[in-house]
Amino acid sequence: MHYNLPSNYKSLLGVKETERAIKEIKDFFQLSLATELNLTRVTAPLFVLSGLGINDDLNGTERPVSFPVKAMQGVQAEIVHSLAKWKRLALAEYGFKRGFGLYTDMNAIRADEDLDAIHSLYVDQWDWERVIGASERNLDFLKKIVRKIYSTLKRLEFRMHDLYPSLSLELPEEIAFVHAEDAQARYPALTPKERENALAEEYGAFFLIGIGWDLTDGKPHDGRAADYDDWSTLTSEGHRGLNGDIIVWNSILRQAFELSSMGIRVDKTALELQLAKKGQDARKELYFHKKLLQGDLPLCIGGGIGQSRLCMYILRKAHIGEIQVGLWPEQMRAECDNAGIKLL
């Protein structure tokens, strides 16, 4: 395990205050986000059937937690990694029109996660999805939506500072935009994570565009599944990708801190290209992929915003275990205790 623990750390809020503040953050932010993006809250599944292509494959290596369903002749179900593809099916089934969409509380288990100060076995996020038109599948529209989300983050930060003055205001007025190819060109000697650290410290908050396509060194900035974000389409800036991450500078951990992964979703052309590039053409026969290729699913944009991550950032916490109850190695618990970090 490798993770950063700050020296001389002291939580700004006690445990009870923290619990009250977490509720305030979640209530305030989701209402603000829904208003900003025209989203309706819907309920969502904790598990889906295996073999339909509905679950999120993340980087393609993580194993979903699965189990047989006794009441359905032992058919296999799996706990979701995220709802990236389920949401698109729901947009179609519920009849959402262009400019409107949905959000939901997504709860997942990622058993293969490497545990550290910002990663746990349990993932909670606001998963959202919104119907768009063909004319909106471009970089300008992506940036417009990112700015709307960022405005909700700014609003939340001020709200919590107003309630708890010890929580400082740190987000810059504007979010910067940097393409992954430009980040690599600017810092050719740094690893992708080191580039993120450098950019986050410089800008305070930025959106890293184009995650998934190979950069000039032959490797992507980070892995992305082939069948939800569009990371292959050529843009007006001469790069590939209509997706990215919202990343801020975490002043407690002194590192880049991802709050959201999002993007314009694949259309038929992008899906076929990305499946071919990943060597996953066989997935075209799965339920979700067939519906998309047949034109049965709407064009859309969507993403996930980490709930515990956002609370951790706003409340200036040093470990995600200060926000959510989890399982942690005894060595980590001991090190956190020595550093003054109270894990729930």
Evaluate the CA torsion angle 94, 58, 202, 236 in order and state its sign.
negative
Distance (Å, whole) CA 344 – CA 339: 15
- Catalytic, 56? Answer yes
Query: Looking at residues 217-230, what average pLDDT do you find?
Result: 93
How many other CB atoms are there within 10 angstroms of residue 271's CB atom?
21
Residue 96 has pLDDT above 70, yes or no: yes
pLDDT in tens, 137-147: 999 999 999 99
Distance (Å, whole) CA 288 – CA 196: 33
Residue 62 has pLDDT above 80, yes or no: no
**Residue 58's pLDDT band (cuts 50, 70, 90):** low
Query: What DSSP assignment string belongs to 21-33?
Result: HHHHHHHHHHHHH
Active-site option among 11, 82, 88, 110: 110
CATH class of 15-338: alpha beta
Asked if 87 contacts 288 with a C-beta cutoff of 8 angstroms, the reply is: no
Which tokens hold the place of 222?
Answer: 């980070």
pLDDT in tens, 312-332: 999 999 999 999 998 898 998
**Residue 133's pLDDT band (cuts 50, 70, 90):** very high
Active-site option among 124, 129, 229, 245: 245
Active-site option among 11, 30, 56, 196: 56
The pLDDT, as a whole number, for residue 280 is 93
Asked if 256 contacts 278 with a C-beta cutoff of 8 angstroms, the reply is: no
Active-site option among 258, 280, 283, 333: 258
- Catalytic, 125? Answer yes
Which tokens hold the place of 280?
Answer: 């996953």
More confident residue, 175 or 56: 175
- Catalytic, 124? Answer no
Active-site option among 11, 82, 260, 261: 261
- Catalytic, 224? Answer no
Average pLDDT, the chain: 93
- Catalytic, 261? Answer yes
Integer CA distances (angstroms), 240 to 64, 125, 232, 236, 244, in order: 29, 27, 5, 9, 11
DSSP letter at 70 equals G
Distance (Å, whole) CA 226 – CA 85: 11
Active-site option among 30, 82, 120, 125: 125
Asked if 240 contacts 233 with a C-beta cutoff of 8 angstroms, the reply is: yes
Contacts of residue 90, defined as CB under 8 A and 6 or more positions apart, other chains included, come to 42, 102, 129
The pLDDT, as a whole number, for residue 316 is 97
**Residue 57's pLDDT band (cuts 50, 70, 90):** low
Query: Looking at residues 228-239, what average pLDDT do you find?
Result: 93
Contacts of residue 188, defined as CB under 8 A and 6 or more positions apart, other chains included, come to none
With residue 325 as reference, give the H or E element that holds it. none
Query: What DSSP assignment string belongs to 139-175?
Result: HHHHHHHHHHHHHHHHHHHHHHHHH-TTS---S-SS-
Question: Tokens 């709930």 sit at which residue?
Answer: 307
Q: Parallel, antiparallel, or unpaired: how do β-strands 243-250 and 75-79 relate? A: unpaired
